[in-house]
Amino acid sequence: MTNLPREQWVHALSALPEARLQAVVDALPADLRVSPKALPQAGLGMLKMRDSAFGDAFYLGEFPLAGCWVTVTTAEGRSVEGAAWIMDDRTEYAERLALCDAVMAGRLPGWEAVAELLEHGMRERARQAGERKTLLARTKVDFSLLDDVGDDDD
């Protein structure tokens, strides 16, 4: 079982190839009944920022956003909710992530496969973070050397 907080599950799962997620969702028991709590949506989100000098609000830009909120009910009548909001324009992808969220949260049949995906996703995110850290270290500039040059503008 993963010790990853629930709010990071979608982040971990989205690091994996979509085909792996689809395979796990397809392998979930057929008797799980999935119903929307709210209709899946896709569109554009607006990134609002506040100017630090004058406190004025402005919009930095827009980004794709898809969301899904589902209720998963077992054959025994046990219900669990799951949700996902992602920076993507595919509602089907958000639905799969929300289904995995519900299955994992309620430890419904098939949760072990989702937990395994979470472990793989966490490792992939850690690998990506290490790679980004290495790239950042390679592009670091030491501006302290500019002080030694002096002022030649005379």
Q: Reply yes or no on whether the pLDDT at 9 is more than 60.
A: yes
E strand map for 5-89: 33-50, 57-73, 79-86
Express each pLDDT in 120-133 by its tens digit. 999 999 999 999 99
> What's the confidence (pLDDT) of residue 21?
96
pLDDT higher at 141 or 23: 23
Round to whole Å and give the CA distance between 34 and 74. Answer: 9
Asked if 18 contacts 26 with a C-beta cutoff of 8 angstroms, the reply is no
Express each pLDDT in 66-95 by its tens digit. 999 999 999 999 999 999 999 999 999 999
Q: Reply yes or no on whether the pLDDT at 147 is more than 80.
A: no
The pTM assigned to this predicted structure is 0.82
135 sits in which H/E element: helix 111-138
Confidence of residue 153 (pLDDT cuts 50, 70, 90): low
Type of residue numbered 9: W
Express each pLDDT in 95-143 by its tens digit. 999 999 999 999 999 999 999 999 999 999 999 999 999 998 888 887 7
